[in-house]
Amino acid sequence: MKKIPYGIASYKSIRQQDCYYVDKTTYIHRLEDAGNYLFLIRPRRFGKSCLLTMLECYYDMARLAEFEALFKGTYIYDHPTPEKNSYLILNFNFSQIDPDTDNIEQSFDRYISNTVFFFYKKYEALFGDDFLPQLEINVKAYQKLEFTLNYIGFIGHKVYILIDEYDNFTNTILTTKGQSAYHELTHGAGFFRFFFNILKGTAGMVDTGVGRLFITGVSPVTMDDVTSGFNIGQNISLYQRFNELLGFSEQDVVNMLSYYQIPLDTALPLMKKWYDNYRFAIKVPTTLFNTDMVLFFVNQFLRCQGIPDELIDQNVRMDYTKLRHLLILDRKLNGNFSYLTEIIKTQGTSPIRVVQSFPVERLTKPSNFISLLYYFGLLSYTQAGELQIPNETVRQLMYGYLREGYEDVNVFNVDMWRLADLIRAMAYHGEWQPVFEFLAAEVERQTAIRDYLTGEKVIQVFLLAYLSVADYYIIHTEEELGKGFADLYLEPFLVKYADVQYAYLIELKYLTRNEFNEEKLKETLNEAKRQLTQYANDARFLKRHQGGQVIKVALVFAGWELKALESY
């Protein structure tokens, strides 16, 4: 059987090692038609590097003899374009730049110089004897790049420039050193801005050596700052016809599971829940699976001969520091943290247009912050044009961001090992009271959290963040049951933990501290009991839990205090 290309970003390696490949060469015609200078944003681990290396292999004139070996069996092999193997390839990957602000300009200069030199060595037969002496006269990296591109145009050839992870080191600097250090790179006379000025300048010349340009990254912010919104070409990130350029469709996943003889009825529903539901344009019918997540799952399934213990690949976890500077200001949680809480509470947003580009100064504007969550893959379009949390993996990541945010500003910090043990006892022994008593006691002890626990929905999100510390349950919020909506429904994760004994329906009630009294408490508990009975008698719910034990729990808060917890 073909190898699974988990962790392999090189198209050439995938083909040479006889790995399973979902054919994306069908998009080469569309990319050529879209324009000569293209810009694409996609979340991490979606296959951007594989796409760029595929384009490199296809267009590189130095790989003409390899065309059959690299492309036989793909769509483009039988339907090549006139531009096949017609370019010199100049390939940059900016994840290789040292983001240390003390060394960054030297690191960038050295990387560009080295790349240009080895570009020359690869195509040396095309260059005259005058090229290398003239190249060495140009000291700065941008000078070497400008000279090389002009020289290529002069001798009648064209370069296809590929830039992968264009914003990698700038994002790191922004999140670790702040806007001032970031500005030095991307504004005014910043060397990174000037690098893109060279690309813009040479691309606009009559006899330019720049034939095509393809840039990928995870955020539009840097591109807006260094090129005023990529005004030299097409930003295809939100185009409907490129929705499936990266990622796997459901049919792709079905084909892969069938090839590796993995039972569809076991694996596909689980994968849809955890890895699916990405859309990269409004109103497209097809949802997509994250590439890395699918390959990780298939790889682990074959190794374990069953459902893997860990469903979230650590490589998918977006570093919390990438969001930290947007959520925290002066050691305090800012308005964006409230937006993140609201998104988790509602599982998405109302219909909103993703902003195509915006400068760093406007990063914390609500619409831009939400757009950035979309570009990071934390939100995705529904077919109706709303933005929602796409799947269970992202939902778990967001719960983690909430916990880390609370910890980062010393608002709330608990013993996660202790809490996980309590949740385990809740799952296997029905001992649910200690979980909520533990959290209530910690809120009592850590007074800073109280200011944030205002209202039923906020408390609901708070509980979601901490009940998800252990993965014995798939936690549903506002699940429609019995013509109502259950606040929290803890469904045993039986695919992974087949012996979990207890499911939970939890109804939260919130009273202000002023309206709380014993009579009101009794009335509120009676209402919660009525609702829980209504939810538990739902026909679909009963079918899901035939033979299982369901515990119905009512929690009543007055302000931040847990005043009552009862089961039925």
* Of the listed ranges 112-121, 298-307, 322-331, the one predicted with least confidence: 322-331
Which residues, at least 6 apart from 24, have a Cβ–Cβ distance to it below 8 Å? 47, 50, 51, 54, 245, 246
The answer as to whether 81 is a domain residue is yes
- The residue that leads in pLDDT, 551 or 456, is 551
Backbone angles phi, psi at 545, to 5 degrees: -120, 35
User: Which helix H or strand E contains 514, and what residues bound it?
Assistant: none
| CA gap 507, 275 in Å, rounded | 29
Domain boundary pick from 316, 342, 366: 316
Of 316, 342, 369, the residue that ends a domain is: 316
Full strand arrangement of the beta sheet holding 380-381: 348-349, 387-388, 380-381
Length of the chain: 568
Report, as an integer, the average pLDDT of 344-356: 77
Asked if residue 219 lies in contact with residue 43, where contact means CB atoms within 8 angstroms, the answer is no
Average pLDDT, the chain: 91
Boundary-marking domain end, from 276, 298, 316: 316
Q: Are 260 and 252 in contact (CB under 8 A)?
A: no
C-alpha span between 293 and 277 (Å, rounded): 13
pLDDT greater than 60 at residue 402: yes
Q: Are residues 310 and 458 in the same domain?
A: no
Q: pLDDT value at position 172?
A: 87
Residues 539 and 416 in one domain: yes
Specify whether 123 is located in the same domain as 262: no
Listed ranges 14-28, 220-234, 447-461; the one with the highest mean pLDDT: 14-28
264 belongs to a structural domain:
yes
Rounding to the nearest 10 degrees, give the CA dihedral for residues 538, 541, 547, 552. Answer: -80
pLDDT band at 230 (very low <50, low <70, confident <90, very high): low
Q: Are 233 and 258 found together in one domain?
A: no
Q: Is residue 399 part of a domain?
A: no
d(CA 268, CA 276): 10
Look at residue 2 and tell me if it is in a domain. no
* Residue 241 C-beta-side C-alpha neighbours within 13 Å: 11
Q: How confident is the model at residue 347 (pLDDT cuts 50, 70, 90)?
A: confident
pLDDT at position 278: 97
Assess whether 472 and 530 both reside in one domain. yes
Domain count across the chain:
3
181, 304: one domain: no
Structure confidence by residue, pLDDT tens digits, 189-214: 788 888 888 888 888 888 889 999 99
467-525 confidence digits (pLDDT tens): 999 999 999 888 889 889 999 999 999 888 989 989 999 999 999 999 999 999 999 99
Residues 103 and 134 in one domain: yes
Q: Which residues face 342 on adjacent strands?
A: none
pLDDT over 70 at 229, yes or no: no
Percent helix, percent strand, percent coil in the chain, to nearest 5:
50, 15, 35
Q: What is the pLDDT of residue 350?
A: 63
Q: How many CA atoms lie within 13 A of 246 on its CB side?
A: 29
Convert the pLDDT of each residue in 129-178 to its tens digit: 999 999 989 888 888 999 999 999 999 999 999 999 999 988 888 888 88
- Using CB atoms within 10 Å of the CB of residue 130, give its burial: 0 to 12 exposed, 13 to 18 middle, 19+ buried: exposed
Domain that holds residue 295: 250-316
Instruction: Using alpha carbons, list the distances in angstroms from residue 422 to 438, 472, 537.
Output: 9, 11, 28
Whether 3 is covered by a domain: the verdict is no
What's residue 309's pLDDT?
85
CATH of the domain at 154: 3.40.50
Highest mean pLDDT among 134-138, 178-182, 307-311, 415-419: 415-419
Using pLDDT thresholds of 50, 70 and 90, give the confidence band for residue 217: very high
Residues 6+ apart with CB under 8 A from 74: 21, 23, 25
pLDDT at 204: 80
What is the pTM for the complete model shown? 0.91
Q: For residues 256 and 232, which has the higher predicted lDDT (pLDDT)?
A: 256
pLDDT of residue 228: 65
Q: Are residues 212 and 292 in the same domain?
A: no
**330 pLDDT more than 70:** no
Is 194 or 531 the better-scoring residue by pLDDT? 531
55 lies in the same domain as 99: yes
Whether residue 452 is predicted with pLDDT greater than 70 in this model: the reply is yes
369-395 pLDDT, tens digit per residue, is: 889 999 999 999 988 888 999 999 999
Buried b (16+ CB within 10 A) or exposed e, 378-388: bbbbbeeebbb
Q: In whole angstroms, what is the distance from residue 513 CA to residue 147 CA?
A: 72
Please check whether residue 387 lies inside any domain of the structure: no
Name 348's bridge partners. 388
Query: Would 173 be classed as within a structural domain?
Result: yes
Rounded CA-CA distance 404/415 in Å is: 13
**Residue 355: band (very low, low, confident or very high) from pLDDT cuts 50, 70, 90:** confident
455: left (phi over 0), alpha (psi -120 to 50) or beta: left
Per-residue pLDDT, 265? 93
- Residues 72-95, mean pLDDT to the nearest whole number: 97
Same domain, 229 and 160: yes
Of 9-13, 29-33, 104-108, where does mean pLDDT reach its minimum?
Answer: 104-108
State which of 115-124, 218-227, 344-353 shows the largest mean pLDDT: 115-124
Buried b (16+ CB within 10 A) or exposed e, 228-248: ebbebbebbbbbeebbbbbbb
The model's confidence at residue 416, banded by pLDDT at 50, 70 and 90, is very high
Give the pLDDT of residue 329. 67
- Give yes or no: residues 415 and 296 share one domain: no
Residue 553 shares a structural domain with residue 484: yes
User: Is 4 within the bounds of a domain?
Assistant: no
Round to the nearest angstrom and report the end-to-end CA distance of the chain: 53
